[in-house]
Amino acid sequence: MKETRKMLNREATQEEQVEILLSLLGSDEETEEDGIYVDDDGSVYTL
């Protein structure tokens, strides 16, 4: 988890952040059905 936190803290692109979060959730696809959303300001969050 510490390694993931470092990756999120560095200047990761939006796509990299989504990939990291999806990998934590055990998913390999970015879909709204998975509850992954990227806000207009670049915030990545789950529902």
Q: Where are the domains of the chain?
A: 2-46
- According to DSSP, residue 30 is labeled -
pLDDT digits (tens, 9 = 90+) for 4-35: 666 555 666 778 878 878 777 765 455 555 67
Q: Output the pTM of the full model.
A: 0.32
pLDDT at 8: 58
* φ, ψ at 6 (rounded to 5°): -60, -40
pLDDT at 46: 73
pLDDT at 24: 78
Contact between 30 and 36 (Cβ < 8 Å): yes
pLDDT at 30: 52
pLDDT at 42: 75
Q: At what angle do helices 14-25 and 2-9 cross, to 10 degrees?
A: 160
> E strands, 1-47, where?
36-38, 44-46
